[in-house]
Amino acid sequence: MRATYDSIGLNYSDLRKPDFHIEKLILESLGTAKTVLNVGAGTGSYEPTDRLVTAIEPSIEMIRQRSMSAAHVIQGSAEDLPFDDNSFDASMAILTIHHWGDKEKGVQEMRRVTRGPIVFLTFDPLHQTYWLADYFPELVKLDEMHMPRLSEFEKWLGPVEIQPVLIPHDCTDGFLGGYWRRPAAYLDAKVRTAMSSFWATDNVAAGIERLESDLNSGDWEKKNSELLELDEYDFGYRLLTSKS
């Protein structure tokens, strides 16, 4: 079966570079784990370099974009991890769970193969949306449809620590909220190819046109002037770490 990212996983190695601030939070959440499983690993962003990491990724296109120095990778899915019980000290899944066919089974599989903490970087679909939704309201609908609610993680894993992940204004990781203070970036088709949400929408031309018009007229800056004063912002990204 052809994986989703075989089609949409373009420019990831160029545009989805780990952000230092986010990376620091993830590494801290992994604790003292010496062996780590990265599920839905993509091109290898945020994989710790000081631990023994095993990566699993369904898309051959993403695997091809991994650097020569990246962790050993196996082609496979979260729902059927090819490892024995309690094989890893910790496991991580970074901005990937919304793509899984069976989210609950994938999380249960991570719990099965992991002795210690399980770390997710995800998005809270109940969080108040930001200005991008004014131009692309369909993106909000996608989040509501595909992003699991934080309460579901607790149902699947038991108690979890939930930590807000503030996004820096100069974030080096080009995910959907990464350019919140650089709105012109969303006009660039290449930038949008590294955001899975844009691939899932039928037609964004009208939103692009409105955004470009508002940027040229200065209306965007007037409506969002308070954002221009901030160095970081909470757009609903959350780091979840299992407590058991």
User: pLDDT digit string (tens) for 199-243?
Assistant: 667 778 999 999 999 999 999 999 999 999 999 999 999 999 998
Cα–Cα distance for residue pair 128/108, rounded to 1 Å: 29
Do residues 45 and 67 touch, judged by C-beta distance below 8 A? no
Report, as an integer, the average pLDDT of 21-34.
Answer: 97
Lowest-pLDDT choice from 56-60, 85-89, 135-139, 141-145: 141-145
| Closest C-alpha to 140, from 207, 75, 44 | 207
How does strand 167-168 pair with strand 232-233? antiparallel
pTM of the model as a whole: 0.89
Alpha-carbon gap, residue 134 to 151, rounded angstroms: 27
* 82-91 as b/e: b if 16+ CB within 10 A: ebeeebbbbb
Q: CA 234, 240, 243: angle at the middle one, nearest 5? A: 145
- Compute how many other C-beta atoms are within 10 angstroms of the C-beta atom of residue 221: 13
Strand ranges inside 33-158, DSSP E: 35-39, 52-57, 72-75, 90-94, 118-123
Class of domain 4-242: alpha beta
